[in-house]
Amino acid sequence: MKYDFLFKGGRIVDPANDRDFIGDVAIKGDKVAEVAKEIDSYLAEQVINISGKVIIPGIIDTHCHVARPEAKGAGYRMLINAGVTTAFDFEGPIEVIKREITKYGCGLNVAVLEAIYPGNGIKSKDATTDELQKTINKYLDSGAIGIKILGGHYPLTPETTYNILQITHQEKGYMGFHVGTTQTGSNIQGLEEAVKLAEGKPLHIAHINAYCRGYIEDPLLELKRTMDILKKSPNIISESHLAIHNACYGGINGNGVPRSYVLRNALRAKGYQVSKEGLEEALRVKYAGVYALVGSKMEYIYGDEAIDYWKKNEYNVGICFPINRRRSAEVCVTERDKKGNFVVDAISSDAGAIPRNCILSHGLPLVHFCALTLSELVQKISLTPSRMLGLKNKGHLSIGADADITIFDPDDAKVEIVLIKGKVCMVSGIIFNNPGRLIVTERGANKLKKQEIPLEVIDLEDSLFLKGKVNKSK
Ligand SMILES: [Zn+2]
């Protein structure tokens, strides 16, 4: 047979090739073999009618968390169920993901940034250059494609933050930043500081929407400041998510105060005491929730159940607050510069094992609302993300592209079929047991050769991250 699979009669949306029509997509092996209005059914081993559905290049989630200590693989399952084919993990640990990915991977392609914060890679908020050199090199050698600073949660001094940016840049690693240092915070001031600290070098600023919560001034003014900074900074790559809930760890320090500064902000915002007792009260009245493994997936739990779980796990569990503003989310997704390019490059989920995998379920209503076309949505959840990482064979349905495909119902956002490298990975919520694939740079690949993890090697020189947006082809 000429083709392995033939998907017939779906709406094909492929902005890289300017395609938006009802037609057929044929797959052979791990590649897209043909895309046309009509392909003969006799040419394919398996013919699948997808009329009424939309078929797009697989979703690339540019900010998520696949591994949580309590998740037991739930992150991978939740991502594939949400139609994601490639996950960019913004925390690691890389060693945990390397252990999990063949067992739990669900066929996903996973790239990892390893987080650096006191207790993880460095001893304190003020690390020596020597310590940073060693830690960053260790992570890049272990298969992480770069480093993430979690300054919003666990602030480092501006100098340490600056040194991490410099060293990671010298080592040609990808650099992700949840903004904030000991001088600022997870807010608009932290964003402005981050752009200054980058000094024009490549930097991926995480979840832009999270800095427009109105903590410093009116959220509309924060949005305006944010968009103005980003429009002037072609070296900054960014994404925003559409979830209402935030996410932080519920750990408590020796003084009885929550460790995460993001959590402290959320308590302060509604007048709760910034203490263990204040968090317990917020959990009791269900302002705060906990996320926990329920069956095969992570779910939010509330009230006494949440308090018991938080205490039983010695406080270090995922905590959430419904504090992301809808208006900020909408502007972050749709704002454009004078040339018509989106100011924020991608729509991410910041989910995975955090139960808010809403790229499609919250992205499609924006299409119905005419804030985005379907093609623009695909641009922000697949095409531009592929370029951010330099994944040349993904993000589009050109002949010879990787057969990473997401098929969904446009009315209810239900994901029907996910194919990764030509393998069926999920059909209507039923997940097939395929190993995942780790996306690494040449440096990681050289170190990992002897381990039996399927690898996809990228060259960050090809990425929008290193090339910068001035050279953007569109
Ligand atoms: Zn995150």
CATH code for position 440: 2.30.40.10
- Percent of the chain surpassing pLDDT 90: 96
Tell me the average pLDDT of the chain: 96
Strands 423-427 vs 430-431: parallel, antiparallel or unpaired: antiparallel
pLDDT of residue 254: 95
- CA-wise closest residue to 402 among 367, 439, 451: 439
69 preceded by cis ω (within 30°)?
no
Given 280, 302, 322, the domain boundary residue is 322
Given 352, 370, 389, the domain boundary residue is 389
Taking CA atoms, 4 is separated from 41, 42, 48, 183, 285, in Å, by 11, 11, 11, 57, 54
Domain co-membership, 138 together with 224: yes
Cα of 350 from ligand 1 centre, angstroms: 5
- CA-wise closest residue to 45 among 422, 437, 474: 422
pLDDT of residue 290: 97
Is the confidence at residue 400, as pLDDT, over 50? yes
- CA-wise closest residue to 59 among 6, 7, 108, 9: 108
> Is 4 within 8 Å of 27 (Cβ atoms)?
yes
Cα of 177 from ligand 1 centre, angstroms: 10
Report if pTM > 0.85.
yes
Domain co-membership, 224 together with 109: yes
Domain co-membership, 128 together with 206: yes
Domain count for the chain: 3
pLDDT of residue 470: 67
- Asked whether residue 471 is domain-assigned, the answer is no
Band of residue 452 on the pLDDT scale cut at 50, 70, 90: confident
What mean pLDDT is predicted for residues 395-424?
A: 98
Given 368, 389, 410, the domain boundary residue is 389
What mean pLDDT is predicted for residues 249-275?
A: 96
Cα of 346 from ligand 1 centre, angstroms: 14
Residue 31: how many other CB atoms lie within 10 Å: 17
Q: Can you give the length of the chain in residues?
A: 474
Is the confidence at residue 472, as pLDDT, over 50? no
State the DSSP code for 120. B
Domain co-membership, 291 together with 314: yes
What mean pLDDT is predicted for residues 115-125?
A: 95
What mean pLDDT is predicted for residues 47-56?
A: 98
Cα of 18 from ligand 1 centre, angstroms: 32
3-state secondary structure of 253: coil
* Structure tokens, 448: 């990992």
* Structure tokens, 290: 């906990």
Choice between 468 and 366, residue whose per-residue pLDDT is larger: 366
- Asked whether residue 465 is domain-assigned, the answer is no
Is the confidence at residue 474, as pLDDT, over 50? no
Sole residue written with tokens 């991502």: 79
Residues with CB under 5 A from ligand 1 (ion): 90, 350
Cα of 90 from ligand 1 centre, angstroms: 6
Domain co-membership, 301 together with 342: no
Cα of 64 from ligand 1 centre, angstroms: 6
Q: Which residue type does 175 have?
A: M
Domain co-membership, 37 together with 86: no
What mean pLDDT is predicted for residues 294-298?
A: 95
Query: Domain limits at 310?
Result: 245-322
> Is 363 within 8 Å of 334 (Cβ atoms)?
no
